[in-house]
Amino acid sequence: MSLCLKITVSALLLITPLASLALERTELLPQGETSVRITQSGPLWNDFNDAFGDRLRKDERIQDFTEAFGGKLKKKAADGKFTLETRTLFEILKLLKGEIAFVYNSAAKTSILTMDRIYLAATASPEDYANVLKRTAWLHEQTSEQTVRKKETFNDVEIVCDIIRGGEPTQQTCWLAWVQGTVLLGSDREWIEKSIVRLQKEPVTEPPERKLSCRFPIGLWIRKSLEDAEDDKRAKSEALWNALGFMDIEQYQLGIEMKDGELILDGNLTCSELGQGLFLLLDTTPEDFSDNRLVPDNASSFSYGKLDLLTFWQALPEMLKSLPPDMGMPLSGMILFFEKQSGLNIEQDLLAHAGKQFTWFSVPESTNQPMLISVELNNSTAMENSLTTLLASPFAGTWSSAVAVSDFRGHTLYNKKEKTSDAEPFALCVTDSHLLFGSNAEVVRNTILQMERTGPQEPFTMQKTAEKLAPSTAFGYGAMDHRTAPAVMYIRVSDSTFSAGFGIQPDVGKPTDGKEPGENEISLDHLTSFLNNTYHFIEAVPNGIHHRIVFENNKNQGAR
């Protein structure tokens, strides 16, 4: 080998590892309870705007809610309800367009969402940093608290220190600096100085992907809430969390990105032990849900999945024993009372006859959304006999007269009598292979007719897409057409609280609580009017569960 070639090869060997050791901004951040990273934030927001944002901004109801919500946040900030670091972070986030990475801890003995001890490292040009200093200086002028800005120098880099004067322990400080294309925000000067030294020595890698990633330490939050509780309450709460299997949860990681105009949400729940408590309900082995007879072609939403009710029930007695007596004994007593009065053993006479597969769907019908849940059966005759025994038992004595029994194509249909209308709510029927439970009798009868169809049944368009998106490892998947299946969710914000709820809206256009949303409220029914179809699946991964939700873009939405 020639000397020139040897020198060239040696240089390549030296350069290659050095290039691979370029600094990631996330490496600058200390350990924090919660972490957030947005890569290529400017292009990511542009992609979102192209798909959804423009239409959202033109909507008056959304703008009214956004304005009211923003006003309440400003009032909280002016009243000193947020820490100085939190207020500074919110202002900085509005100005940045590249990578944004930050971590924070929860403030002691407050909401787990209250930010404290914040550290941020983000892409910023000199012009961006100048805007940061200008904007944060303006922010301090908006509060009633006395804020002082000091400037010092470290390694030829200017460090800005903002201080809220109030004397210990209320005095708050926030540190800012810019070096080598990176803006730093931190709760202490030592971290700022260490980051400056490292940035001056190592080049930074700018991540090419466009994505938002968050890590939420659910397990730590649960443990912290227990530490703050009184002794007796802590013991009860810990017993309950243990019984439910939630003490084994470690963290939840969420990834959000845009691909071909579609919004994709990936969530990973990490658990140290998955087969405990409520997680026993999940059968995570992959399944082929190829029977297309159950879901009608006009379904507005559907889901396939698996539940191991029998295994969960067999573990339930030990779970109840682990609870404090005032929690476990009433539930055990209710079970014993039911079995004695009904003459049925829940495990042997009901759950032993049920399989693991279930199907759920809703259909558009005028202004309503009838729904049906079907559970696969391994012994339909035995299940039918158990239902007959239940209706003839003393347990059913008080309400059996309110249940109408009829025959439909050789199947016994049970439904609740409705005195004030022609509706037949809450209908139940055992077929040759499934237990059907519908929100009315009509949806049950239609499903029986569907199941009687012979020959292979082709899935409809939304179902085909859901099958294509779900991997072979999925143990459940489904879809929803938001144009015909309005979901209901209220998001309510006040000066002191935040609350939300979710469900399927049975009566389109009718608020669930009978009240129209106020200026500080908005419903998912309205938000989803901007969507077409969403698809989802769930699968088991090492040490946890992964789920994905795909929000279909207008341009990609296929004809039904």
Contact 183, 228 (CB under 8 A): no
Tell me how far apart the alpha carbons of residues 525 and 516 are, in angstroms, rounded to a whole number.
12
According to the 3-state scheme, what is the secondary structure of 478-495?
EEEECCCCCEEEEEEECC
Q: How far apart are the first and last CA of the chain?
A: 67
Query: Which amino acid is present at 180?
Result: Q
Collect all residues with Cβ–Cβ distance below 8 Å to 234 and sequence separation of at least 6.
226, 227
Token pair in block for residue 369: 């959304």
Collect all residues with Cβ–Cβ distance below 8 Å to 486 and sequence separation of at least 6.
369, 505, 508, 525, 528, 529
pLDDT of residue 308: 94
Contact 492, 506 (CB under 8 A): no
- Residue 4's φ and ψ, nearest 5 degrees, are -60, -45
Contact 434, 360 (CB under 8 A): no
Taking only the tens of pLDDT, the chain with its 560 residues reads: 443 433 333 333 333 343 346 799 999 999 888 999 999 999 998 888 888 777 777 888 778 777 777 777 777 766 667 777 888 888 899 899 999 999 998 765 555 556 778 999 999 999 999 999 999 998 878 777 778 899 999 999 999 998 876 555 567 888 999 999 999 999 899 999 999 999 999 999 999 999 999 999 988 888 888 887 777 788 888 888 888 888 889 999 999 999 888 899 999 999 988 778 899 999 999 988 877 788 998 898 999 999 999 999 999 999 988 888 888 899 999 999 999 999 999 999 999 999 999 999 999 876 677 899 999 999 999 999 999 999 889 888 777 777 888 999 999 999 887 765 555 578 999 998 999 999 888 999 999 999 888 766 778 889 999 999 999 999 999 998 877 765 555 565 555 455 555 444 444 444 444 455 555 666 666 766 677 889 999 999 998 999 999 988 765 444 33
Contact 97, 548 (CB under 8 A): no
**C-alpha distances in angstroms, 244 versus 112, 228, 280?**
21, 20, 10
Question: H helices within 182-308, ranges in order?
Answer: 189-201, 218-227, 231-244
**C-alpha distances in angstroms, 400 versus 2, 346, 389, 439?**
97, 19, 12, 18
Contact 177, 136 (CB under 8 A): no
User: The tokens 């347990």 sit on which residue?
Assistant: 395
Long-range CB pairs of 320-327 (<8 Å, 24+ gap) are: 320/243, 322/239, 322/242, 322/243, 323/239, 323/240, 323/243, 324/235, 324/236, 324/239, 327/236, 327/239, 327/240
Question: What element of type H or E holds 78?
Answer: helix 60-78
pLDDT of residue 453: 82
Q: Among residues 284, 254, 282, which one has the least CA distance to residue 269?
A: 254
- Residue 332's φ and ψ, nearest 5 degrees, are -65, -40
pLDDT of residue 85: 81
Q: Among residues 342, 332, 338, 436, which one has the least CA distance to residue 380?
A: 436
Beta bridge partners of 39: 211
Tell me how far apart the alpha carbons of residues 10 and 2 are, in angstroms, rounded to a whole number.
12
pLDDT of residue 560: 34
pLDDT of residue 519: 56
DSSP of 351-406: GGGEEEEEEEEE--BTTB--EEEEEEES-HHHHHHHHHHHHTSGGGTTTGGGEEEE
Q: Which residues of 522-532 are buried (b: 16+ CB within 10 A; e: fewer)?
A: bbbbebbebbb
The CB density around residue 221, as the number of other CB atoms within 10 Å, is 17
Can you state the angle between helices 231-244 and 325-342, rounded to 10 degrees? Answer: 50
Q: 260: phi > 0 → left, psi -120 to 50 → alpha, else beta; which?
A: left
Please give the model's pTM, rounded to 2 decimal places.
0.84
Tell me how far apart the alpha carbons of residues 246 and 269 are, in angstroms, rounded to a whole number.
11
Collect all residues with Cβ–Cβ distance below 8 Å to 42 and sequence separation of at least 6.
97, 98
Beta bridge partners of 164: 147, 172
